[in-house]
Amino acid sequence: MPIRLVFAWLLVSAPLFADQFDAVRGFVRRHMTESSAPSIAVAVARDGRILWEEGFGWADREKRVAADENTMYSLASISKPFTATGLMMLVEQKRIDLDRPVNQYLGNAKLRARVGNADDATVRRVANHSSGLPLHYQFFYEDEPFRPPSMDETILRYGNLVTIPGEKWEYSNLGFGILDYVISRVSGVPYDDYMRQSVFLKLGLTHTSVGIGPGLEKFVAARYGQDGLPIPFYDFDHRGASAIYASAHDLVRFAMFHLKAHLPDQARILADASIDEMQRTTAQSGEKAGYGIGWLTNDDLNGYRVISHTGGMGGVATTLRLIPSEKLAVVVLGNTSGALPHQISEQILAALLPNWRIPPSAPATSAPPSFRPPPGLIGTWKGVVSTYKADIPLTLEVRESGEAQAKLGDQLKMLLNDVTWENDVLSGRMLGDVGTEDANRRPYFLQFTLKLRGNLLNGSASAISQPGRRVGNALTQWVELKK
C-alpha cells in the first residue's frame, strides 16, 4: 500500500470508529443532564487498539476543569485488580505462595479464627473474599480529626474470621487492605511506591497512582455528593481495596494488559499463565458468578465470559469490563455515585456485540417473606459481642411468632428488625452501642448475621453508619451465643 494511503487510513480510522459510538454519546449527554452528573469519562479497546476515549462534563466544576481521557478518577474497588496484579508479581517471584496462610506474611498482628482454623485463611482466600473476613469499610475525611490507624492496629481490632475459611463468599475490603500490607512487608517497599514502580510505570500508566501522587493534582476529578457539592478528600484503612486513581486512558491500557494485548510500550510484568490464574473462578458468589484473584467473574453473561470489577463510594461510580473472547475492554468512570456509568457500559457493549442485551430496569423489590423460626432457633440465647475494647453481654430471644428481641449489655431491650432466616443463618438489625471510638464517630445501627452451629449461634455484628451525605463505616465484631 502506498505510504500516502497508509497515512490517509490512519487519519480517518479514529473518526470512523468513533462514529459507531454516536448513539452512546447522545445517551451519555442526555442522562448526564437528567441526573446532574458532573462528568463521565469512557474508553473502549478491542483487538489491541483503543477505539474510543472521551470525557464529558466537568472534572472540577468549581475550577472549570473539563473532563477528558486523561482525567484521573477515584476508582474505589477497581483498585483491587491493580493490587492483585502487584501481588501476583510477588507470587511469580516465589516470594508469596497463594495457598499458604496469609498470617505467615503478617507481623505480630495476626488474623484470629473465631471459628475454623486461621491456617486455612490462605492468601488466595483473602484475595477471593472467602477467607472468613467480614464486611468492613472505614473512611477518614481530611477535615475531620480522625486518621487511619496502622494496619497492625486495624488487624488487632477487626482481623476476625467470623465464618470458616472457604465456607462462604463475603466481600471484604479489609482483605485487600491486608494484601497491600503483605505486598509492602514482602517487597520491603511501601505499597504506594511498589505499585508505582512495579506496576504503573512498567505498564506505561502515567496518570495512575495510589491516592493523589505528587505532581498529579491538576489531573484529578473532584468527588461530588448527590447534592452536587464537593466531598472532602478521604482515605481508608484498606488502601489496597479502594485508594487508586486512574484515567480512562490508563485504565483501558491496564485492561489491555489483562487481555494479553502485549503492547510494545508495556513490560510483561506477568506471564500469561498468571493472568489466566487471576481470572480463574475460585470462589462462587452466585450461580454463574464468582471471584478470582482481584477479578469478578461471570461464566455466561449474554453468552460471553465476562471479567470485571466495579467501584462505588461517596463521589465515585466506576466500571471496568473485559470480554476475553472478543479482546474487548470497556471503561466508564464517574465522579458522583449512581448507576449511570454502569448504564453507559451496557450501551457500549450493545453497540459492539450483536448478542448483548441490555437488562431491563430492576423491578421494585418485594417485601421478604415473614420470618418463621425453625424449632431449634426458638428460645433464649446468651453470649457476648466481642469488640476490641471488651466483651459485651448479649441476650437474644426468638419467639415462635417470629418476633426477636435483643438486649446488649445494660442497654434497653430492642426489637430485631428485618429478620430473615436462610441457609441456617439468622439476619436482622437493631439500634445499639458497642462502645468503641471507631463505631461511635457516626450514628449507626447493628446488623447481625448469625449462623446456627449445633447449640451455638455465632457470626458477626456490623456497626454500619446511618445513611448521610458522607459515607460512614462498617465495623464488624464477633458474636457468639449459646442456648
pLDDT at 3 over 60: no
Mean pLDDT of 202-210: 99
pLDDT at 42 over 60: yes
Q: Supply the Cα-derived Rg of the chain in whole angstroms.
A: 24
pLDDT of res. 10: 35
Spatial distance between the Cα atoms of 388 and 439, rounded to a whole number of angstroms: 11
Specify whether 323 is located in the same domain as 439.
no
Q: What is the pLDDT of residues 173-196, one digit of tens each?
A: 999 999 999 999 999 999 999 999
Give the end of a domain, one of 292, 317, 352. Answer: 352
CA distances, 226 to each of 102, 235, 470, 471 (Å): 39, 20, 10, 12
pLDDT at 314 over 70: yes
User: pLDDT-derived band of residue 368, with 50, 70 and 90 as boundaries?
Assistant: confident
Residue 364 lies in a domain: no
Specify whether 328 is located in the same domain as 407.
no
Mean pLDDT of 301-315: 97
Q: What is the pLDDT of residues 235-274, one digit of tens each?
A: 999 999 999 999 999 999 999 999 999 999 999 999 999 9
User: pLDDT-derived band of residue 5, with 50, 70 and 90 as boundaries?
Assistant: very low
pLDDT of res. 19: 78
pLDDT at 125 over 60: yes
Residue 25 lies in a domain: no
Specify whether 465 is located in the same domain as 323.
no
Q: What's the CATH code of the domain at 406?
A: 2.40.128
Specify whether 239 is located in the same domain as 329.
yes
User: Which phi and psi (to 5°) does residue 151 adopt?
Assistant: -65, -35
pLDDT at 280 over 70: yes
Q: What's the CATH code of the domain at 275?
A: 3.40.710.10
Spatial distance between the Cα atoms of 374 and 396, rounded to a whole number of angstroms: 15
User: pLDDT-derived band of residue 18, with 50, 70 and 90 as boundaries?
Assistant: low
pLDDT at 8 over 50: no
Residue 30 lies in a domain: no
- Distance, C-alpha 284 to centroid of its chain: 16
- DSSP at 250: H
Specify whether 116 is located in the same domain as 189.
yes
Query: For the chain, what percent of residues have pLDDT higher than 90?
Result: 92
Specify whether 432 is located in the same domain as 306.
no
Residue 14 lies in a domain: no
Q: What is the pLDDT of residues 393-434, one digit of tens each?
A: 999 999 999 999 999 999 999 999 999 999 999 999 999 999
Closest CA to 308 of 292, 286, 287: 292
Residue 68 lies in a domain: no
Specify whether 307 is located in the same domain as 429.
no
Mean pLDDT of 119-142: 98
pLDDT of res. 6: 36
- DSSP at 102: G
Please give the residue that has the higher pLDDT: either 96 or 9: 96
Specify whether 191 is located in the same domain as 274.
yes
Specify whether 91 is located in the same domain as 186.
yes
Residue 45 lies in a domain: no
User: Among the listed ranges 17-31, 61-75, 156-170, 462-476, which one has the minimum average pLDDT value?
Assistant: 17-31
Specify whether 432 is located in the same domain as 332.
no
Looking at the structure of the chain, the number of domains it has is 2
- Domain extent, residue 171, equals 74-352
User: pLDDT-derived band of residue 16, with 50, 70 and 90 as boundaries?
Assistant: very low
Give the end of a domain, one of 298, 319, 352. Answer: 352
Spatial distance between the Cα atoms of 319 and 244, rounded to a whole number of angstroms: 14
pLDDT of res. 257: 99
pLDDT of res. 361: 76
Q: What is the mean pLDDT of the chain?
A: 95
Specify whether 215 is located in the same domain as 278.
yes
pLDDT of res. 287: 87
pLDDT of res. 238: 97
Residue 69 lies in a domain: no
Residue 12 lies in a domain: no
Give the end of a domain, one of 352, 383, 417. Answer: 352
Specify whether 423 is located in the same domain as 458.
yes
User: pLDDT-derived band of residue 364, with 50, 70 and 90 as boundaries?
Assistant: low
Spatial distance between the Cα atoms of 178 and 211, rounded to a whole number of angstroms: 17
Mean pLDDT of 212-222: 96
